[in-house]
Structure 1
Amino acid sequence: MTQNSPPRTTSVLAPQLGRKERPERRATSEIMRKYGHLLFVLPGLVFFVAVMVGPTLFALVISLTNWTGRGISFEFIGLQNFQDALSYWPLYRAAINNVILFVAMLIFQHTVGLFIAVQLNEKPRFMEFYRAVLFMPVIISLVSTGFIWTLMLSSNIGFINPVLRDLGLGFLAKNWLSDPATALPTVIAVTAWNSVGWAIVIYLSGLQNVPEELKQAAHIDGANGWQTFWRVVFPQLSPSFTALTVLTFIGTFKTFDLVYVLTGPLGSPNYRTDVVGTLIYRTAFGGSGNYTDDISMSFAIALALVVFAFMTLIAWALIKILRRREIQS
């Protein structure tokens, strides 16, 4: 090195700078490695908060007031709406109809739906056609389904009563949706027709996952067809049974469209088909869908939140009980 040459300090400082930067970069990369996947979840989380959590919290705030749905008059009344909801007899009357609907649908789907799924699992000729036809009611909107069945059940222009008379079963012809004895069973029948496709698909998926070796071993041991199904196949369908039961419970307590189209917001006749969905709608917007003097949006929201809490609790209990059954089987 000559005397005029500048001192070489870069060779000493560079490693020191590098040592300072490497830990920072290492820490950053470690953070990205551990939490970088959350960036992909963030858009969905923001959307969920915006359309679910936010409106729910806003509804909870509104339920603590006496807002009727008109104007901007908000008076804080605390938990009064919830106290009134818990002692509101029409809520229990509507909930009883929902429970009847749930029990009837549960029995229908776990018997008729399972039976049809077992038949389709045998792969009969035109199986794909049968499956498409049976699932078709599910993809039809509930409003369209309601209008179709309203026309078919009409005592004036419907064809169900004339067909019954032509078959010599005229004594069965009735005003199906206006007779208090047949209104709710008719709604149950239409709901079953609309949703049986779900039961078939869910059970058919479970049946296709049952190992053939288990059934063959049962036959070798001397089990007949019914014993093989009941002791070998059906226990393997526990996940399908759980999923269908929980979905049926949620679906029946969310029922609104079909009942509204078939029997109106009043649950005619004489509230025999009134469910919690039509009750909440009627409380919020009035019986005819127009504003009336007796509507209360805040009370309707309180009713909805009470039903939501009830559904959450029961659905959680069903999952816990049925999951335990899956483990035992």
Structure 2
Amino acid sequence: MIKRDRQSRPPSEFSRRYGHLWFVVPGLVFFLGVFLLPLALAFGISMTNWSGLGNNVQFIGLANYAEILTHGPFYRAAFHNAVIFVVILIFQHTIGLYTAVLLNEKPRFMQFYRTVLFLPVIMSLVATGFVWTLMLSPNIGLINPVLKSTGLGFLAVQWLSQPGTALIAVIVVTAWNSLGWAIIIYLASLQAVPEELKQAAEMDGANSRQVFWRVVFPQLSPAFTALTVLTFIGTFRTFDVVYVLTGPLGAPNYATDVLGTLIYRTAFGTSSFSSGDIRFAFGIAMALLMMLAMAAICWMLIRQLRRREIET
């Protein structure tokens, strides 16, 4: 009888209001263990002059962060990331959207087209870099012979060896690799537009162009927001493709140097660096500062683009 009374006892006020938090605890503990604790440790290391080798560690406070603000290579690499971001963003919001619109018309072999266009996304970035390194090679590559055979031989150059074309090659490879994301995101958004809205506009006398720009395009605002933020994060995390195509030095003459390669060689060095050039704590400081800047910019992007969604 006592056991039955305990089972029928109503839950306490605390259990009703906060009982669901027990389901959050495992994920919160995991998050604290794999993210916040290493982040705190990295911040502590960034406030020292540790090279990553030996036990010679001296606390220097925020000196590393102050040095970064006047560090020319940091701004040069950030500029390259910004150029890649702007070009890729324009490419995705034009070519990616146009391709998604064509696929939304459900052409013949649509599933085949979707698979082929999305295939570069699921490829390893390292494998992508190696494939394009071979294709862009002036000796055994495919790009230059194709240009010569089509009468565009004046465009056949050593793509990865000239400062004027190396960054262009990196952008082309990055665009090829990320186009599938734009197509899938926009295609899913296009398929979610209610047919009733388009039919109502057509009944009011709107042609196909007006239906798209006045009815369909405003409905794509959430896709525009998501794709913009994801593109920003992806391009400012660029490392694999640049490392494989042009190496950790961002060759030639740092023309393709990005924040990822700069942080890598600062913290770990390269084969051409001596142990005295390795500054592990300074590299961590650059990584943390980049993460903080990216978080702030992402927050501003989301805030502004969400406001645009409400207005449209």
Shift of 1:290: 6.8
Deviation at 1:325, TM superposition (A): 0.2
Q: Take 2:8 and 2:242, find their aligned partners in 1: how far apart are those partners?
A: 62
For 1:191, the aligned partner's letter is T
Describe how 1:111-190 pairs up with structure 2 within 5 A.
111-190=94-173
Contact 1:282 / 1:289 at 8 angstroms: preserved in 2?
Answer: no
Residue correspondences, number = 311
What letter matches 1:135 in structure 2?
Answer: F
Matching residue of 1:8: none
Structure number with larger C-alpha Rg: 1
Out of 15, 37, 56, the residue aligned to residue 54 of structure 1 is 37
For residue 86 of structure 2, what is the aligned residue in structure 1?
Answer: 103
Q: Hey, what's the Cα distance between the residues in 1 that align with 2:234 and 2:273?
A: 27
Q: Distance in 1 between matches of 2:110 and 2:175?
A: 21
For residues 178-225 of structure 1, the C-alpha deviation after alignment (integer angstroms, 9 at most, x for no partner) is 111111111000000000000001001110110111111111122121
> Cα–Cα, structure 1 residues 216 and 183, in superposed 2: closer, same or farther, change >3 Å?
same
Asked if residue 34 in structure 1 is aligned to residue 44 in structure 2, the reply is no
Alpha-carbon separation, structure 2, partners of 1:253 and 1:79: 24
**2:122 is aligned with what amino acid?**
I
Letter in 2 for 1:260: Y
- Find the residue that maps to 1:274 and give its secondary structure: coil
Q: Give the TM-score of the pair, scaled to structure 1.
A: 0.90
Select which of 15, 28, 45 maps to 1:45: 28
Aligned ranges 1:1-329 → 2 under 5 Å: 26=9, 29-288=12-271, 292-329=275-312
Percent sequence identity over matched residues? 65
CA deviation after TM superposition for structure 1 residue 26, in Å: 4.8
Local SS of the residue matching 1:76: coil
* Residue identity opposite 1:216 in structure 2: Q
Moved more, 21-30 or 104-113: 21-30
Report deviation, 1:288: 2.8
Q: Which 10-residue stretch deviates more, 65-74 or 32-41?
A: 32-41
- Aligned 8 A contact 1:285 1:292 in 2: no
Q: Which runs of 5+ in 1 are unaligned?
A: 1-17
Runs in 1 of length 4+ with deviation above 3 angstroms? 21-34
CA distance in 1, matches of 2:89, 2:203: 34
Q: 1:87 to 1:33 in 2, by over 3 A?
A: same
> In structure 2, what is the Cα distance between the partners aligned to 1:219 and 1:291?
69
SS at match of 1:193: helix
Residue 23 of structure 1, CA deviation:
9.5
Q: For the residues of structure 2 that align with 1:87 and 1:24, how far apart are their CA atoms?
A: 67
- Indicate conservation of the 8 Å contact 1:267/1:275, yes or no: yes
- TM-score of the aligned structures, taking structure 2 as reference length: 0.95
C-alpha distance in structure 1 between counterparts of 2:237 and 2:267, whole Å: 16
The answer to whether the 8 A contact 1:285-1:291 is kept is no
Residue-by-residue CA offset, 1:52-82 (whole Å, 9 max, x unaligned): 1111110000001110001122211000000
Aligned counterparts of 1:27 and 1:290: Cα–Cα separation in 2 = 69
Q: Post-superposition shift, 1:129? A: 1.0
Tell me the CA shift for residue 28 of structure 1. Answer: 5.6
Flag structure 2 segments of 5+ consecutive residues without an equivalent: none
Mean Cα displacement is larger for which, 281-290 or 194-203?
A: 281-290
SS in 1 for 2:275: coil
Range that drifts further, 108-117 or 21-30? 21-30
